Chains A and B, each alone.
Chain A
């Protein structure tokens, strides 16, 4: 029997993909709840917060943009940090292009849904191609809907609270970043880059305007890449 939505796919595999997609969507929806609350606590209004989830739709960049703005980093540093963190999505798109094969205008919509989770799901189901496409789109749509609902609820919830600092929301910001960082610390190189990035940012904090120390840590990644390239 074939999957109801995707004829090229067996019903059992289709069901498993849908179940996994919903599970990922619910987990990221919970994350969006904290994003919405933190963004409003920092000073964005609920509409700006929602616009980020609808338009930017890539969690680490959204979190970084509001985090740098909240730390007094200014618009340029906030935008640059969001861009640099979003650069990896372009690499995901490169890996997904031969798998999903979007043509013409489909590239425009496929691009918006190209994030960590959809890439992982699509690449985990390479065969048949219909499975990769189903994994990508079901995960993407589940996350998009729940991410935006989570953002709305979190933003409106925080807007109703008088003093977010008393609730420890300022501690929730680094906790959110460390939860994003954690799964990437897979080997010694990643740990070394992470520690170097943190040390560089802290060392430059008293010297540079807020926001710039984080951007300077991006240079650590370039230096580490160059060193690794020389070793090969």
Chain B
């Protein structure tokens, strides 16, 4: 079942890449096309951040993940590279759990 998602997801994202080379360049002249393509990743990534931080199934909870995300924001403000941001988030969540402070 997971293979179906892996293959269908990969095929679709590939075709989206390819279609840009097959369409006439005049598509870019539509301001709405450019706008939506720029705004979609922002809305989706922000939603993914929110859901992956607070959702547990269909419930909203505050747990060690929030601390991890706040640490990640701090690391981004300090211009830390990607791996440092992710590791800092994981390490702070793990520490809070090990200390019994957060679930």
Contact = CB atoms under 8 A, between A and B. Distances in A.
B44 to A, nearest CB: 6
21 contacts: A51-B10, A58-B17, A64-B48, A81-B44, A90-B19, A93-B18, A93-B20, A95-B28, A97-B25, A168-B94, A171-B69, A172-B87, A174-B72, A175-B68, A175-B85, A176-B82, A177-B52, A198-B46, A201-B50, A210-B55, A229-B31
A1 interface: no
Contact of B92 (A72, A171, A214): A171
Contacts, number: 315
A20 interface: no
Contact of B94 (A48, A112, A167): A167
Interface of B: 1-10, 12-14, 16-23, 25, 27-28, 31-55, 57-60, 64-65, 67-69, 71-73, 76, 81-83, 85-95, 97-98
A160 B95 CA distance: 20
A92 B86 contact: no
Interface in A105-145: 107-108, 110-112, 114
Contacts of B28: 91, 94-95
A88 B40 contact: yes
B56 to A, nearest CB: 9
Contacts of A213: 47, 51, 55
A71 B87 CA distance: 21
Interface of A: 27-28, 30-31, 33-34, 43-44, 48, 51-52, 55-56, 58, 60-61, 63-65, 67, 69, 71-72, 75, 78-79, 81-98, 102, 107-108, 110-112, 114, 166-182, 184-185, 189-190, 193-202, 205-210, 213-214, 216-218, 220-222, 224-225, 228-229, 232
Given A56-B14, A84-B44, A110-B21, 8 more contacts: A51-B6, A52-B10, A81-B48, A86-B12, A86-B13, A168-B95, A193-B39, A220-B47
